[in-house]
Amino acid sequence: MNRINQFNEYREKMNARIMDTDHLGIKRFFNLDTAAYKPGALDSKTKELMGLTASMVLRCNDCIDYHILECVKCGISDQELLEAFNVALVIGGSIVIPHLRHAVETMDMARTGTS
Amino acid sequence: MNRINQFNEYREKMNARIMDTDHLGIKRFFNLDTAAYKPGALDSKTKELMGLTASMVLRCNDCIDYHILECVKCGISDQELLEAFNVALVIGGSIVIPHLRHAVETMDMARTGTS
Amino acid sequence: MNRINQFNEYREKMNARIMDTDHLGIKRFFNLDTAAYKPGALDSKTKELMGLTASMVLRCNDCIDYHILECVKCGISDQELLEAFNVALVIGGSIVIPHLRHAVETMDMARTGTS
Amino acid sequence: MNRINQFNEYREKMNARIMDTDHLGIKRFFNLDTAAYKPGALDSKTKELMGLTASMVLRCNDCIDYHILECVKCGISDQELLEAFNVALVIGGSIVIPHLRHAVETMDMARTGTS
Amino acid sequence: MNRINQFNEYREKMNARIMDTDHLGIKRFFNLDTAAYKPGALDSKTKELMGLTASMVLRCNDCIDYHILECVKCGISDQELLEAFNVALVIGGSIVIPHLRHAVETMDMARTGTS
Amino acid sequence: MNRINQFNEYREKMNARIMDTDHLGIKRFFNLDTAAYKPGALDSKTKELMGLTASMVLRCNDCIDYHILECVKCGISDQELLEAFNVALVIGGSIVIPHLRHAVETMDMARTGTS
């Protein structure tokens, strides 16, 4: 089982545990988070690319992985992902580079079915 | 002269001064920054929305203003801007709210021609 | 009119404008934000001190001002505020110092009725 | 040996090594850090909750673990911890979610004695 | 009176007010902060350049101004400052650009005696 | 193979993969990044110390490791590294402590040849 599967499994297990705490504020936040990426005035593809860019400049590998997988589901190509990576790199600077390495690896894993 | 005009004037004056220092690394960085938003695998509209979202979660008012003005030039509507603001708010949290106020004011100024 | 009154006036005006956009996600986020500080397992005093500390380490003057004013409403003393400032300073480091200056000034303005 | 024990062991080993370097500034910083959480105008419980919230919005898992363990020692309940997690989630946004998963897991480990 | 004089005046006034609160932890932190830039294994010039770079990537204009003024006192040249600005720009990315504009303006004010 | 060797191996493999994508913007950014640390108005030793301090306050372990290894190559002593760690700790606060532990461990590994 590779790191993307491990991430998805842990994410699902802990999200279930969090829902289980039955904290109303936290549950509502999770609903808001899900709703934010639903198509509206902007389509899901654009929103996922925005989420990916924000995750990269904020330097969160788990969030980067999540949004790359969603981008791939939306039919976003490698060339489009690389353009998003480049915008994030220019905005966020060289401190983003370790996360760029991670992102490119995730992109490759998502494509080759090793995920 | 409103705050957007003041920002644009200061930005142009200081960018000219920075170019004037003739520092090769800084000049190249500015070129890279400009190039990152040119249409490629992703169009300018998508890239400007990504730049706007990143600017909001990183909480930089000058960058927010710059990208809102570019978004308006790209023909992005208020409804689309609000969707981007919402994604940034959910990702970045309530610490983004003061910048959301600023962003909505800039959006309104850009529309009413008071800029 | 001092800077705290100006902040409150601008905050109210722009919050009203934001509600006016009628964006469901943004409205829900504002509701969640308000609800988070209501007394529950923790009382409002503790929650406002937590909000203040988080605002200081994230270095947002508007958020610092808002939470200091709420702390004062909750009956939190200057000595208690100073303890919170100290915890934020130790966690966030010297980069917090400009915001500590701002916070102490706000604390003084809130006490002397010049707000 | 679970991850909390590993963290505590590594933390103690490296803190000892850091003290061993005998750098006066660093030693004084560690003393200041310890002193900041001692009961004063605010009690330790409030200070630990403030430290926990700050650690979550700054997204540092090691700091989160440390403060959760201190909170548990202070007699803070799960319901109180969840309230702190919720305040941190609202302030810091969805980028905090991976750290919320980690925090809930640490809370559970601290309770079940698997730590 | 230009903005650097205003900054210095406000800084001195509020630092005095902070000392006046007589909070032991805060006073000790200020002492640690001052001590960190004293010459030791590294000279003051190197330490001020490190402080400047850190202030730029953390995007704090007050801290940038403080360290540029200290750098000038240490005899650091414009060419050396520009090299530090460039390292900060590459590490921190385009989000640093508004602070680069501010920094270059401060550098010029410090040189022309308008400060 | 210790963690520094693993880091170097992964870094080289993924940097090669990134170059392989042949994205012009990303390649140019990597060139700018390399060029920023070449001796110019400031020598490499000073620049690496600036890069190290920035990496610590931005809390990126991979960047910290990279710059410590470069510092060691430049002939920077442990006492000088500790001074840089201290400046970063004071600027960035206790949230830097987990990265200070990591940095001291990396410094020791680099010295004892276990890297």
**Which residue in the set A33, A58, A79 is minimally distant from B90, CB to CB?**
A33
Distance separating alpha carbons of residues E100 and B38, to the nearest angstrom: 23
Q: pLDDT tens digits, residue range D30-63?
A: 999 999 999 999 999 999 999 999 999 999 999 9
Distance separating alpha carbons of residues B85 and B66, to the nearest angstrom: 14
Nearest chain A Cα distance for residue C77, angstroms: 29
Distance separating alpha carbons of residues B29 and B47, to the nearest angstrom: 18
- Confidence at residue B63, expressed as pLDDT on a 0 to 100 scale: 98
Binning chain C into helix, strand and coil, the percentages to the nearest 5 are 80, 0, 20
Q: What pTM does this model have?
A: 0.97
For residue C44, is pLDDT > 70? yes
Q: Which residue of C has its CA nearest to E31?
A: C94
- Confidence at residue D112, expressed as pLDDT on a 0 to 100 scale: 84
For residue A114, is pLDDT > 60? no
Mean local confidence (pLDDT), B10-37? 98
Mean local confidence (pLDDT), B29-48? 98
CA Rg value for chain D: 15
Chains contacting chain F through 3 or more C-beta pairs under 8 A: A, B, C, D, E
pLDDT above 90: percentage of residues in chain A: 95
Averaged pLDDT score across all residues of chain A: 96
Q: pLDDT tens digits, residue range F49-96?
A: 999 999 999 999 999 999 999 999 999 999 999 999 999 999 999 999
3-state secondary structure of E51: helix
For residue D115, is pLDDT > 50? no
Distance separating alpha carbons of residues D2 and A10, to the nearest angstrom: 16
Averaged pLDDT score across all residues of chain B: 96
User: C28 and A32 in contact by Cβ < 8 A?
Assistant: yes
Q: Are F45 and E45 in contact (CB under 8 A)?
A: no
3-state secondary structure of B81: helix
User: F98 and D10 in contact by Cβ < 8 A?
Assistant: no
Preferred mutation among E22, E32, E47 to probe D, highest tally of D CBs within 10 A: E32
Contacts 24+ apart (CB under 8 A), F14-23: F14/A101, F14/A104, F14/A105, F15/A101, F17/A104, F17/A105, F17/A108, F18/A100, F18/A101, F18/A104, F21/A78, F21/A82, F21/A104, F23/A82, F23/A83, F23/A85, F23/A86
Residue D35: exposed, middle, or buried by beta-carbon count in 10 A (0-12, 13-18, 19+)?
middle
ipTM: 0.96
User: D104 and A29 in contact by Cβ < 8 A?
Assistant: no
Contacts 24+ apart (CB under 8 A), B37-44: B37/A87, B37/B70, B40/A79, B40/A83, B41/A77, B41/A79, B41/A80, B41/A82, B41/A83, B42/A49, B42/A80, B42/A83, B42/A84, B44/B70, B44/B74
Mean local confidence (pLDDT), B59-77? 98
Chain A CB contacts of D105 under 8 Å are: 14, 17
Chains contacting chain D through 3 or more C-beta pairs under 8 A: A, B, C, E, F
- Confidence at residue F86, expressed as pLDDT on a 0 to 100 scale: 98
Mean local confidence (pLDDT), A63-73? 98
- Confidence at residue E1, expressed as pLDDT on a 0 to 100 scale: 72
pLDDT above 70: percentage of residues in chain D: 97
Q: pLDDT tens digits, residue range A81-101?
A: 999 999 999 999 999 999 999
Q: pLDDT tens digits, residue range E28-86?
A: 999 999 999 999 999 999 999 999 999 999 999 999 999 999 999 999 999 999 999 99
Going by C-alpha positions, the residue among F77, A32, D47, A115 that lies closest to residue C24 is A32
User: C47 and D80 in contact by Cβ < 8 A?
Assistant: no
Mean local confidence (pLDDT), F15-37? 98
SS (H, E, C) chain D: CCHHHHHHHHHHHHHHHHHHCCCHHHHHHHHHHHHHCCCCCCCHHHHHHHHHHHHHHCCCHHHHHHHHHHHHHCCCCHHHHHHHHHHHHHHHCHHHHHHHHHHHHHHHHHHHCCC
User: C95 and F91 in contact by Cβ < 8 A?
Assistant: yes
For residue B115, is pLDDT > 80? no
For residue D114, is pLDDT > 80? no
- Confidence at residue B1, expressed as pLDDT on a 0 to 100 scale: 73
Task: Spell A40-53 as b/e; 16+ CB within 10 A means b.
Answer: bbbebbbbbbbbbb
Q: Could you tell me the pLDDT band of residue C113, with boundaries at 50, 70 and 90? A: low
Q: pLDDT tens digits, residue range A22-60?
A: 999 999 999 999 999 999 999 999 999 999 999 999 999
Nearest chain B Cα distance for residue F2, angstroms: 35
Q: Could you tell me the pLDDT band of residue C40, with boundaries at 50, 70 and 90? A: very high
Distance separating alpha carbons of residues E88 and A95, to the nearest angstrom: 10
∠ CA C13-C15-C16, rounded to 5°? 65
For residue E114, is pLDDT > 70? no
For residue E115, is pLDDT > 50? no
